[in-house]
Amino acid sequence: MTTNDHSASFPSKKISWRGTTLLLVFGVIFIASTLRMPLTVVGPIISFIRDDLGISNVLAGFLTTIPLLAFATISPFAPVVARKLGLELTLFLSTILLALGIVLRSLGTTGLLVFGTVLIGIAISFGNVLIPGLLKLKFPYHVGLLMAFFTMSMNLTAGLGAGISYPIANSSFGWQGALSIALVLVVVTILIWIPQLKSNKPEPATTSKMTSTPLWKSPVTWAVTGAMGLQSLLFYTTAAWIPEIYIAQGLAPDKAGWMFSIMQFSQVPMALAVPIIASKMASQRPLVVMFTFFYLIGFTGVVMEWTSLGVLWMILLGLAGGSSFALAMMFFTLRTRTAFEAADLSGFAQSLGYLFAAIGPILFGYLHDLFGGWNIAGWLFVAVATILFFCSMRASKDEYVH
């Protein structure tokens, strides 16, 4: 299944916003809506889960790390499965697996909580990895626009999940109801995606052969991997520790919790704009300079404890995070020639990238304990943002992985 084979379905450089095309766009948007909400509902209600089940803080904290480890483990295999089964069928089956994971996680026992979380991590891995390739396959002239819809939907529902989970857990529905709320979107996604199965085809063996240069030998691959991994590390580490940092600086716990929500929603404008802009640029380096500036100013404001301007720092970090994530996702299509090559690069980069992300919060907490405060740990943000700059600049060069 080559890009050229399927681009014939959309020969015009204009999208016809009706019929099967519109249904596919909605399908992509709804898949995106299921890839973060099942994760972001957990953090605000950890205390409810811990107290009701009587689990340790270590296990409670591990609930947010399990999906990242699943991403790191499963991502390289997603393109292999998609080649055998076809992209559309693989995404459909992964969404059913996601629904199963959400149901099991919400049944109220420790064992099923952990097992369901593992299934959720496995299922989301497929959507993370395969959607960039699918967009390159189906919309070769409009990857930036469709990626913008994808990343915006992901960020909006992630913020929504973080915002509604605590009120739901604090109601008669309990924490089980809060964990299962994402099931509504998943069921709708399954129904909307069914028509896509008609166009599902495994990749022909003649196009499955590897190129002469293995993916891991390309400098571009490692630059893209670094960009994906380091921006993920920054996101998941701030998600884990920004509220604690602001509480230590004297902010009330409820206000400290809102700081991350402000950062999350501030990502949305850039998640929408950056893919469109990046797709029209031969080199994306001006975007890298922009988000690095936002990162450095925002993190410096946090570390220097200029807490009175905390909302400004969170907005800047949200703009930076939305830009760097959207650009990292675009690299999978910009630096490859075919849909399955994009899926291969996506799987490789996300596997190592989410491994970095899983290490980040642990390392940050270790530095806090080692030095007895957040100052030294906070400067790690600045250091990582600086390294991210160099990786992203290299990945922004107009060339392919092979």
Average pLDDT over residues 351-368: 88
Where are the domains positioned within the chain?
17-200, 214-401
To the nearest 10 degrees (0 to 180), the angle between helices 375-395 and 310-334 is 30
Q: What is the mean pLDDT of residues 310-319?
A: 96
**CA separation, residue 394 to residues 273, 284, 332, 337 (Å):** 21, 10, 14, 18
Judged on CB neighbours under 10 Å (0-12, 13-18, 19+), 136 is buried
**Least confidently predicted of 52-61, 79-88, 377-386:** 52-61
pLDDT at 58 over 80: no
pLDDT at residue 208 is higher than 60:
no
Q: What is the pLDDT of residue 11?
A: 41
- Predicted pLDDT of residue 7: 40
CB atoms under 10 Å from CB of 390, counted, come to 15
Averaged pLDDT, 218-241: 92
Which of 221, 224, 257 lies closest to 241, judged by CA?
Answer: 257
| Structure-block tokens of residue 174 | 């309990």
CA distance 327 to 279: 10
Could you tell me how many helices (H) and strands (E) the chain has, helices first?
18, 0
Write the pLDDT tens digit of every residue in 186-199.
999 999 999 999 98
Tokens representing 264?
């999350």
Q: Quick one: what percent of the chain has pLDDT higher than 90?
A: 64
Confidence of residue 264 (pLDDT cuts 50, 70, 90): confident
Q: Which CATH superfamily is domain 17-200 in?
A: MFS general substrate transporter like domains (1.20.1250.20)
Positive or negative, the CA dihedral 163, 166, 169, 171 is: negative
Mean pLDDT value of segment 222-246:
91
Amino acid at 276: I
**Which comes out higher in pLDDT, residue 167 or 394?**
394
Cβ-contact 112, 49 below 8 angstroms:
no
Query: Over the stretch 100-139, which tens digit does the pLDDT of each residue have?
Result: 999 999 998 999 999 999 999 999 999 999 999 999 989 9
Residue 325 tokens, joined: 């994530």
Give yes or no on whether 17-200 and 214-401 have one common fold.
Answer: yes
Site of tokens 């929500």: 261
Mean pLDDT, range 32-57, rounded to an integer: 89
More confident position, 243 or 351? 351
Q: Is the pLDDT score of 257 beyond 80?
A: no
Helix (H) / strand (E) element for 269: namely: helix 253-279
Q: What is the pLDDT of residue 141?
A: 87
The separation between the first and the last C-alpha atoms of the chain, rounded to the nearest angstrom, is 19
Mean per-residue pLDDT, 305-322: 95
**CA-to-CA distance for 6 and 17, rounded, in angstroms?**
18
pLDDT in tens, 72-110: 999 999 999 999 999 999 999 999 999 999 999 999 899
- What's the CATH code, domain 214-401? 1.20.1250.20
